[in-house]
């Protein structure tokens, strides 16, 4: 049994690194349905349930220190990769589709919670608030909102269950619909040629540049400094029961990442791997406080996730007919929110390789607005419970 900080932290890093390495090197089919980050959560959660480590004062203090200090740095690095100027090149119609997807997902959370909140525990709004962050940008936003809402790590199991099971089925449905795109577009009277022209003119790839030690070291120092400054600024601003000190920290780190994303720092290739390392480590830390015995309402949460997707899909189809939107735009906009950069480009590529940049840019937009949208949804869910 582990009772000290160093073996505890080392084991979490070891498990995370091995899963990522296996996913990258083997290309196993398992990872198409259960990404490494989901397997990481449930692997560490299993070890926590088996009580491989105990919550000693040393382990508790190291957990708090690493999680609270790395979170703002991770947010900054993840958002640094998003250049808002490139996103604006997408054009009005595609931007409209993306925001329609975001708003319909937000509405899906609200309507679902109005209908089902009496069946959930009192603080369930926090879990769905964190999930809304993931479904409007990706795992990085989910972790940020989880911290901002002070959602107990033990409740994150529900969020990851919905995020893996419901999301995986939704991805399969959207991929299965690709052959029916022409028929759908005829029904909505959509113009598909515009997308191909746009996809061929967009370029989201950074220059193939080797990651250098100096760049990696600089990025690490810069990200940690953003974390320090965000934590120093946060106490200077007023707080409420919802807008806590941690929420301000998340907001400042988010704004720093967005602003830095339009500078030459956006071209630093070391930001992505460094940000991902922090993300995986934070997810492992969260999972280390969770326990399978606490997931007594898992089927209800999974059902709630499908209700959200059903509402989202219904709204998207209705507006597709109204605004003459094509199936490609609807699907990629949906996955840019719900799946982020891990799945939106894959669906885009299933239509045409030239359209992959649109999937990447939409996912970038999700990173930018996801935290703010998720916090807004959480506030509404909290009001519903009152």
Q: What is the pLDDT of residues 343-378, one digit of tens each?
A: 787 788 788 766 777 777 788 788 788 888 888 999
pLDDT at 200: 54
pLDDT at 382: 92
Task: Return d(Cα 331, Cα 190) in angstroms, integer.
Answer: 14
pLDDT tier at 230 (50, 70, 90 boundaries)? very high
What's the pLDDT tens digit per position in 257-298? 889 988 999 888 899 899 889 989 998 998 888 777 766 778
User: Higher confidence at residue 319 or residue 31?
Assistant: 319
Q: Indicate if the alpha-carbon torsion angle 4, 5, 11, 14 is positive or negative.
A: negative
| In contact, 36 and 44? CB cutoff 8 Å | no
Mean pLDDT of 48-65: 91
Q: How many CB atoms sit inside 10 A of residue 218's CB?
A: 14
Task: Return d(Cα 277, Cα 230) in angstroms, integer.
Answer: 20
Mean pLDDT of 31-36: 76
Range among 136-140, 195-199, 224-228 with highest mean pLDDT value: 224-228
> Which bin fits 150, alpha (ψ -120 to 50), beta or left (φ > 0)?
left
User: Higher confidence at residue 60 or residue 340?
Assistant: 60
CA distances from 199 to 65, 339, 341, 361, 366 (A): 44, 20, 16, 11, 19
pLDDT tier at 223 (50, 70, 90 boundaries)? very high
Alpha-carbon radius of gyration of the chain: 20
pLDDT at 369: 83
Encode 56-100 in three state secondary structure. Answer: CHHHHHHHHHHHHHHHHHHHHHHHHCCCHHHHHHHCHHHHHHHHH
pLDDT at 207: 54
pLDDT at 31: 80
116 contacts: CB under 8 Å, gap ≥ 6:
300, 304, 307
Q: Indicate if the alpha-carbon torsion angle 126, 319, 100, 83 is positive or negative.
A: positive
pLDDT at 160: 82
User: Higher confidence at residue 296 or residue 219?
Assistant: 219
User: Higher confidence at residue 357 or residue 302?
Assistant: 302
pLDDT at 367: 78
pLDDT at 294: 65
CA 383 to chain centre: 24
Encode 328-381 in three state secondary structure. Answer: HHHHHHHHHHHCHHHCHHHHHHHHCHHHHHHHHHHHHHHHHHHHHHHHHHHHHH
| In contact, 174 and 331? CB cutoff 8 Å | yes
pLDDT tier at 203 (50, 70, 90 boundaries)? low
pLDDT at 348: 83
| Mean pLDDT score across all residues of the chain | 86
pLDDT at 209: 67
CA distances from 377 to 112, 126, 127, 309, 362 (A): 12, 10, 11, 15, 20
3-state DSSP assignment of residue 143: helix
Q: Which of 76, 136, 83 is nearest to 370 (CA)?
A: 136
| In contact, 309 and 108? CB cutoff 8 Å | yes
pLDDT tier at 196 (50, 70, 90 boundaries)? low
Place of tokens 């200077």: 236
Range among 35-44, 222-231, 343-352 with highest mean pLDDT value: 222-231
């Amino acid at each position: 049994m582990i009772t000290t900080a160093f073996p505890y932290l080392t084991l979490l890093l070891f498990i995370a690194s091995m899963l990522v390495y296996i996913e990258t090197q083997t290309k196993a089919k398992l990872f198409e349905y259960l990404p490494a980050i989901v397997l990481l959560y449930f692997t560490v959660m299993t070890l926590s349930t088996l009580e491989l480590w105990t919550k000693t004062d040393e382990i508790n203090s190291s957990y708090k220190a690493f999680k609270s200090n790395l979170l703002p740095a991770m947010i900054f690095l993840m958002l640094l990769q998003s250049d808002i100027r490139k996103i604006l090149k997408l054009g009005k119609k595609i931007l409209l589709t993306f925001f329609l997807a975001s708003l319909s997902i937000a509405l899906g959370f609200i309507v679902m919670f109005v209908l089902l909140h009496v069946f959930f525990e009192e603080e369930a709004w926090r879990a769905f608030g964190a999930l809304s962050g993931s479904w409007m940008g990706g795992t990085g936003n989910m972790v940020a909102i989880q911290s901002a809402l002070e959602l107990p790590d033990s409740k994150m199991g529900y969020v990851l269950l919905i995020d893996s099971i419901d999301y995986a089925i939704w991805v399969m449905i959207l991929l299965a619909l690709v052959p029916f795109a022409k028929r759908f577009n005829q029904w909505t009277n959509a113009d598909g040629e515009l997308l191909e022209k746009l996809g061929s003119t967009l370029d989201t790839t950074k220059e193939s540049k080797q990651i250098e030690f100096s760049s990696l070291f600089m990025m690490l120092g810069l990200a940690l400094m953003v974390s320090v400054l965000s934590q120093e600024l946060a106490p200077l601003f007023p707080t409420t029961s919802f807008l806590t000190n941690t929420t301000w920290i998340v907001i400042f780190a988010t704004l720093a990442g967005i602003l830095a994303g339009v500078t030459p720092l956006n071209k630093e290739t070391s930001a992505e791997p460094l940000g991902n390392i922090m993300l995986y480590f934070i997810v492992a830390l969260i999972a280390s406080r969770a326990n399978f015995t606490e997931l007594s309402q898992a089927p209800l949460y999974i059902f709630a996730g499908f209700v959200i997707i059903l509402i989202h899909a219904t709204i998207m189809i209705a507006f597709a007919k109204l605004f003459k939107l094509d199936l490609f735009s609807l699907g990629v906009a949906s996955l840019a929110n719900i799946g982020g950069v891990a799945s939106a480009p894959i669906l885009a590529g299933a239509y045409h390789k030239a359209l992959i940049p649109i999937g990447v840019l939409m996912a970038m937009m999700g990173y930018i607005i996801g935290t703010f949208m998720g916090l807004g949804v959480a506030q509404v869910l909290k009001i519903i419970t009152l």
